[in-house]
């Protein structure tokens, strides 16, 4: 049995959940991932299977019908799912960010209204900060909500919504007071129908953004044109807290991206190890050439280091403390290592790594997404650096 990516101190229940998901990945995801990915097809059967396993309610509290699992359990599940196919983890990720934000910042009415249906997967969440003109610089968003009677009217254009079409709930960051900086930003819980076109009066999902990888999961724009939303759909009930709510959600998201990096890197390493054992050159398996063996050693070390860093970041958030420093470090390290491990696995495959018949080709197109999503490497370094100067160093 592999000694890599072991997590010490797990409960029996956590071990059972992770083992169940690993078996699901081996049985239901790995055999079909390549074909679905190449066809850019939404993995409906896999999503149905995840619903049956209760995965959409994994981190939602038992009082709302979920399994009440920790962020660590969730991250370990994401690591397993990403080992199978990163897009599948993308389908649950935005859902969990939104569920986390509602559970930690929502009113009692919002929790009761959304969380039980999110736990079953009937309501599926997307979250939207980015716009065509800004991603890293969240405070530069221009989408505006203006009060009108008991409602707000929203106008603007959002970009890069993962699950933008398949979700029916979008936690959307807008400006309610453009002169108030971060305190002028508000999160609205926007209900819509799944699909493309006009998904609610004044709300349009124009189409799918074509991507180099991370296929299967839909990524879209979202256009607000006089969209009316009741004030009761402000997350937490009062305007002005949206930036802080989103940053809390993004800390969960960063642990998730780190976990994805661990899963993709693990798969690339497994593929490389298997290939290096059976491919022969100059009369012996290529693993017996020291250059290849050293490459495998470096890959395994990175796989292990990223996992332990990710576990540490998840455990810190579970302890109730902010984990911005640790999540930033984990996300940065895991995504950079993932890119490097995938590249090394690609090299070990020789020419076959370039063939679409070999899985490493897909991983090679997926890994770069992790360098960007939930904040680029530069943004992680800014966060880490600031925390160090604040005294965390």
Q: Which stretch binds ligand FAD (CB under 6 A): 59-67, 78-86, 211-219, 345-353?
A: 211-219
Exactly one of 56, 100, 114, 160 binds ligand FAD (CB under 6 A); that residue is 160
**Nearest distance from residue 128's CB to ligand FAD, in Å?**
5
Q: Alpha-carbon Rg of the chain, whole angstroms?
A: 21
Among 232, 378, 385, 392, binds ligand FAD (CB under 6 A): 378
Interface residues for ligand FAD in 269-328 (CB under 6 A)? none
Per CB under 6 A, contacts with ligand FAD among 126-155 are 127-130, 134-137
Q: Cβ of residue 45: shortest distance to ligand FAD, in angstroms?
A: 23
> With respect to ligand FAD, which residue has the nearer C-beta, 112 or 140?
140
Tell me which of 87, 94, 323, 380 binds ligand FAD, using CB under 6 A: 94
Burial of 85 (0-12, 13-18, 19+ CB in 10 A): buried
> Binding of ligand FAD at residue 373 (CB under 6 A)?
yes
Q: Report the distance separating Cα 307 and Cα 366, nearest Å.
A: 18
Question: Three-state SS for 226?
Answer: strand
Residue choice 104, 211, 347, 365 for contact with ligand FAD (CB under 6 A): 211
Which of 5, 7, 162, 323 forms a contact with ligand FAD (CB under 6 A)?
A: 162
Residue 136 CB, nearest approach to ligand FAD (Å): 3
Tell me how crowded residue 176 is: count the other CB atoms within 10 A of its CB.
20
Query: Which tokens is 58 given?
Result: 């994994």
Q: What is the Cα–Cα distance from 331 to 325, expressed in whole angstroms?
A: 10
For the stretch 348-355, contacts whose Cβ atoms lie closer than 8 Å and that sit 24 or more positions apart, written own/partner, are 348/272, 348/275, 348/276, 348/286, 348/292, 348/295, 348/296, 349/271, 349/272, 349/275, 350/279, 352/275
Tokens, residue 33: 């991932």
* Interface residue list for ligand FAD (CB under 6 A): 94, 127-130, 134-137, 160-162, 211, 214, 219, 369, 372-373, 375-376, 378-379, 382
């Amino acid at each position: 049995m592999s000694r890599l990516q072991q997590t010490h101190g797990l409960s029996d229940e956590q071990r059972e959940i992770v083992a169940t998901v690993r078996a699901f990945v081996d049985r239901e995801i790995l055999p079909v991932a390549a074909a679905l990915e190449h066809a850019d097809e939404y993995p409906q059967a896999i999503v149905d299977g995840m619903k049956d396993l209760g995965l959409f309610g994994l981190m939602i509290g038992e009082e709302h019908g979920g399994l009440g699992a920790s962020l660590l359990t969730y991250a370990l599940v994401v690591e397993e799912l990403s080992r199978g196919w990163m897009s599948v983890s993308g389908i649950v990720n935005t859902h969990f960010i939104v569920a986390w934000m509602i559970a930690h910042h929502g009113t009692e009415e919002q929790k009761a209204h959304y969380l039980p249906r999110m736990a079953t997967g009937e309501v599926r969440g997307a979250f939207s900060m980015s716009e065509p003109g800004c991603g890293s610089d969240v405070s530069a968003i221009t989408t505006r909500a203006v009060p009108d009677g008991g409602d707000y009217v929203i106008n603007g254009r959002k970009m890069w919504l993962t699950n933008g079409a398949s979700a029916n709930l979008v936690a959307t960051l807008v400006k309610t007071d453009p002169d108030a900086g971060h305190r002028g930003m508000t999160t609205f819980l926007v209900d819509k129908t799944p699909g493309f076109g006009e998904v609610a009066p004044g709300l349009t999902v124009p189409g799918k953004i074509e991507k180099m990888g991370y296929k299967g999961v839909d990524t879209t724009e979202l256009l607000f044109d006089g969209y009316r939303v009741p004030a009761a759909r402000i997350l937490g009930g009062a305007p002005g807290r949206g930036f802080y709510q989103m940053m809390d959600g993004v800390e969960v998201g960063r642990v998730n991206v780190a976990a994805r990096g661990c899963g993709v890197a693990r798969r690339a390493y497994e593929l490389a190890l298997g290939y290096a054992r059976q491919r022969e050159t100059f009369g012996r398996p290529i693993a017996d050439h020291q250059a290849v063996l050293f490459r495998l050693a470096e890959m395994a070390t990175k796989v292990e280091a990223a996992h332990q860093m990710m576990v540490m970041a998840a455990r810190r958030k579970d302890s109730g403390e902010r984990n911005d420093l640790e999540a930033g470090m984990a996300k940065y390290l895991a995504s950079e290592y993932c890119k490097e491990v995938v590249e090394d696995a690609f090299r070990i495959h020789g020419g076959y790594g370039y063939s679409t018949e070999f899985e490493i080709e897909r991983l090679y197109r997926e890994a770069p997404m992790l360098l960007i999503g939930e904040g680029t490497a530069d943004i992680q370094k800014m966060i880490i650096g600031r925390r160090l100067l604040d005294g965390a160093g």
